Structure 1
């Protein structure tokens, strides 16, 4: 044991000796605090030479200039190669890294989101006594911002003096901007107060960030006070300041206040764009065009954003022809449309199924030298998938890939959803597999589409496997995912499994909504489990989940199917009292139930009430009434509703004619039945 300890101690001293010698040679030995995503160790393994000093041949290193290092780092697009070069210099005697080279490397790593490596270099600068410049620290803050970890930027900012850097207005501005980007509004004002304590005067950039924060926090009074503070301190608000306030007022629906405020300063094109956007959001296109004319009068040239805002809003409202007029006006004004403009037009035509025009615009934009982007392709794909034109969608996908536009998650999700809506399991599966093979990770919508399609094909085991994968792949299922699965199970009568999923939702942080309960209730009523269904109804009431028309229809249908007409009638009354407007399905269910169960008089009353609430009877309504009246009142009275049906241009179907023939045959025999039917046909428009 003593021998082993002695050997261990000797080895430790030898190792310590060579480490000290290694550091004396000017090399770096860095320890990683956390494992970075890029292996980052500046020190290399030295090859120790045990020859006497006078026998070692020493070569003078070739010195490298700082300008050469900066140029190479700047031009190297591969972050791994840039890092290897940086490390090789750190472990050589040909160059000692400077503040500028550290700053360059920090900036490059920050852009790639390599936060650990950024921290590593920052602490190495501290160890080497190299002060961090303002620009370098701005790069550090921006790297945290891009990575979405602004809290770390804040902690690092409080330690700024440790790195030989003093806080400046620029540094504070970048920190405030980072906090704003992550919506950490509650920390912005304290940081601003800190800035004033440091004796630093805010500039217009500072005030603009504060204005954005106040507006986002719905504090108009605070924003107005800040504008006054700016003017009092001699820092005049610029177009960004005014645009921020005007945009906030317009988004809040306070268009008149926004227009009154515009009269108090000289507006810019961005301010008018905000006003026009506000008018379009309220559907007030007349005023939007009037503002366009005001801009012309004041010699403020509308830009592509101005026209595209109006055009896109018109498209979303379905006014495609008017949007073409706006496009023409753009050309007249000498304002060239951009990719967003053309994409809006393509969206409008494709959403209406007008694909020849959509593709015409698509090819026109390419001819005009305006290249489509992923959004353009995805918009056109969405329209094709919505129309069920999956072959055309696949052709467009191939063209997209040929033009070197890599499909993204939106592309694949759109196609999977299109195949799912077309009930094409093979097409959806192939697209899913292609997406996975290319390293594109599915999102919750893609998973939900596949689960829904698998359930439609009764492949519940595969669907459940996907559901489990979602959590392990950091894409947890949401309420919509569970609703699709539960619906599929209930349709196939697998209510027990649906109830298990219903209980499992909470484990995934999902809250059951009215749709969840509607699907479960529908399944329970189908299997005649009335008792459990009403337990869920009571649970909904206890949880304060508002019933919608689907909820009422589901319960009324379940009660009617079970012959519980009185309960169904009472629930219908509650529905009316609570202000839920019944739809045609509600009334058709009740008319059918009353016609079938011997209360045809009330069914006739419901027919009369349909017109009062803006609903028109359909083939289902009259089929129930003709059958019910025939059986409970008489065939002559039933013919009244048959004539009403024909007069309203609702053509009787095979089911009605078959019923009437059978009914008349049983009552008056074959000859009488034929004569009666001929009489009916002779009086109707159907005969001709």
Structure 2
């Protein structure tokens, strides 16, 4: 509820305001609110077809050809489908097959956005070999799709899951083999630094900067990337030390520089220092942005100063700025932190009156506030309103709701949420399945726990070792050996194309007798 709330609206070529959410900008065009009901219906149909398709038993492309006529494969349609597949935690290989289908059958020139979405889905699932193959194919057939954003997606995930040296090698491979004919300069150098800073690998980022800054002349954005990395590491002292180094090197602070420093202070509860920097901005004629005010409102909430939060909010029109969902969320958060749920509900009504759309963060804040003030009944009431609006929350809100429902003896609502997501074409996150299976099995509803787990495997996603062992124990107790064997076969088949990560189920141990 700070700078990152609005970051997803910004252009990726600008410095993102929250590194932890860096790549969510890749999916900004997936918002279906501006699509016609007919197009939404087609998107929902294709999502269900892709997610429900037996995988890996049958190839996906013949099915797509049957149900997806080429005329509907517009770039906007494809981008929305891929965005939904990402949000739905769909299997990466299915998304890749859909993208390839689009490349071969669409009557439109492929868009960078669709390529970037596919790349993000693959790298998030650690399909790096497939991601490199896709980049090489795009280099050969559609080199114009290779952008700084696609480079950033790849390098950030390699930095997250692989070594420092692997990330440097990937950067060199892109320069020598993928982005052939493009002279790498400061922009590409910034993307490399950003990859390390995204993962808060500041020692590595500083090392790369010192090693390569003579080749790639740094600019203010370079310094802001490093400054933001130090901020995300939670070290205000490091932020200020690097800020002064930045000034000594001759770089002039801009709005982004001030926003980063204000955010660093606000997160540590040093709201007064944030206000001091706001005054400094105005004195040097560096006018605050809506991100600046959003951050300060959130900072006021952290120190429970709702009076100042409301004052800053009310001053927004006086600054010739226009409030958006993000700044409303910041004020909502401030009110909820102060346990003023009535004012928060009134603010939601104001959003609706002014046609400012709720997003997942809006609901997440209000679910937390409802739980603290009105308990499970308040959460249930808001949940039903959300479903009536056909709104699908993001993963962390789904997991939070599942935990609330299952720990408050409302596993029926947990199952209702699960079915709602599946009907919408989503494959809920593994953490949500862990909570739901635990809740169902503890109440003797093993069949429903089995069905939900099977749905995940059918959609090409792993279940956790904990879920499998729990089902194994309960199915053996009830003599459901056939169901256990079926899960085992599905897990083994999935391992052939999607090796498990740490914590994923690997199947029945040799010591277990299921005969």
* TM score, norm. by length of structure 2: 0.60
Change (3 A) 1:351 1:39: same
What residue in structure 1 maps to residue 228 of structure 2? 247
Equivalent residue of 2:63, what SS? Answer: coil
What residue in structure 1 maps to residue 449 of structure 2? 466
User: Which residue, out of 176, 183, 196, partners 2:151?
Assistant: 176
Equivalent residue of 2:251, what SS? Answer: coil
| Residue 268 of structure 1: how far off its partner (Å) | 1.7
Query: Which structure 2 residues correspond to residues 272-671 of structure 1 after superposition, within 5 A?
Result: 272-406=258-392, 413-424=399-410, 440-450=426-436, 453=439, 459=443, 461-462=444-445, 466=449, 470=453, 473=456, 474=461, 476-477=463-464, 510=503
Equivalent residue of 2:323, what SS? Answer: coil
Structure 1: runs of 5+ lacking an equivalent: 1-33, 43-78, 87-100, 126-132, 487-506, 512-688
219-228 or 103-112, which deviates more: 103-112
Cα-Cα RMSD: 4.7
CA distance in structure 1 between the partners assigned to 2:419 and 2:101 by the alignment: 39
Deviations 1:432-463 (A, max 9, x none): 565556555444444454455557xx63x336
| Residue 333 of structure 1: how far off its partner (Å) | 3.1
| Residue 222 of structure 1: how far off its partner (Å) | 1.9
CA distance in structure 2 between the partners assigned to 1:230 and 1:245 by the alignment: 15
| Residue 359 of structure 1: how far off its partner (Å) | 0.9
Change (3 A) 1:480 1:251: farther
Deviations 1:381-410 (A, max 9, x none): 232134444444444344434545345665
Deviations 1:110-162 (A, max 9, x none): 7777533554676899xxxxxxx9x8596785364143255334235556786
CA distance in structure 2 between the partners assigned to 1:115 and 1:357 by the alignment: 46
CA distance in structure 1 between the partners assigned to 2:150 and 2:104 by the alignment: 20
| Residue 84 of structure 1: how far off its partner (Å) | 5.8
Change (3 A) 1:171 1:288: same
| Residue 273 of structure 1: how far off its partner (Å) | 0.9
CA contact (8 A) 1:281 1:313 kept: yes
CA distance in structure 2 between the partners assigned to 1:310 and 1:478 by the alignment: 43
138-147 or 250-259, which deviates more: 138-147
Equivalent residue of 2:297, what SS? Answer: helix
Change (3 A) 1:248 1:329: same
Change (3 A) 1:444 1:247: same
CA contact (8 A) 1:176 1:209 kept: yes
What residue in structure 2 maps to residue 190 of structure 1? 169
CA contact (8 A) 2:406 2:436 kept: yes
CA contact (8 A) 2:335 2:344 kept: yes
| Residue 206 of structure 1: how far off its partner (Å) | 1.3
User: Which residue, out of 131, 150, 155, partners 2:133?
Assistant: 155
What residue in structure 2 maps to residue 142 of structure 1? 116
Structure 2: runs of 5+ lacking an equivalent: 1-57, 86-93, 474-499, 505-515
CA contact (8 A) 2:155 2:170 kept: no
What residue in structure 2 maps to residue 608 of structure 1? none
Residue 257 (structure 2) pairs with residue 271 (structure 1): yes
CA distance in structure 2 between the partners assigned to 1:413 and 1:160 by the alignment: 36
CA distance in structure 1 between the partners assigned to 2:76 and 2:438 by the alignment: 50
Change (3 A) 1:319 1:475: farther
What residue in structure 2 maps to residue 115 of structure 1? 96
CA contact (8 A) 1:470 1:476 kept: yes
CA distance in structure 1 between the partners assigned to 2:383 and 2:182 by the alignment: 55
CA contact (8 A) 1:255 1:279 kept: no
Change (3 A) 1:138 1:462: closer
What residue in structure 1 maps to residue 192 of structure 2? 210
Change (3 A) 1:323 1:438: same
CA contact (8 A) 2:433 2:452 kept: no
Deviations 1:207-242 (A, max 9, x none): 2212213434422132244444333xxxx62x4323
CA contact (8 A) 1:409 1:440 kept: no
Change (3 A) 1:470 1:186: farther
| Residue 302 of structure 1: how far off its partner (Å) | 0.9
Equivalent residue of 1:182, what SS? Answer: helix
Query: Which structure 2 residues correspond to residues 55-134 of structure 1 after superposition, within 5 A?
Result: 80-81=68-69, 83=70, 114-116=95-97, 118-119=99-100
| Residue 471 of structure 1: how far off its partner (Å) | 7.1
CA distance in structure 1 between the partners assigned to 2:81 and 2:382 by the alignment: 37
CA contact (8 A) 2:434 2:466 kept: no
CA contact (8 A) 1:401 1:407 kept: no
| Residue 362 of structure 1: how far off its partner (Å) | 1.5
CA contact (8 A) 1:141 1:174 kept: no
* TM score, norm. by length of structure 1: 0.47
Residue 19 (structure 2) pairs with residue 35 (structure 1): no
CA distance in structure 2 between the partners assigned to 1:435 and 1:37 by the alignment: 24
CA distance in structure 2 between the partners assigned to 1:203 and 1:412 by the alignment: 42
User: Which residue, out of 244, 259, 268, partners 1:260?
Assistant: 244
Change (3 A) 1:229 1:284: farther
Equivalent residue of 2:60, what SS? Answer: coil
Change (3 A) 1:120 1:339: closer
Change (3 A) 1:174 1:290: closer
CA distance in structure 2 between the partners assigned to 1:251 and 1:156 by the alignment: 31
CA distance in structure 2 between the partners assigned to 1:436 and 1:120 by the alignment: 24
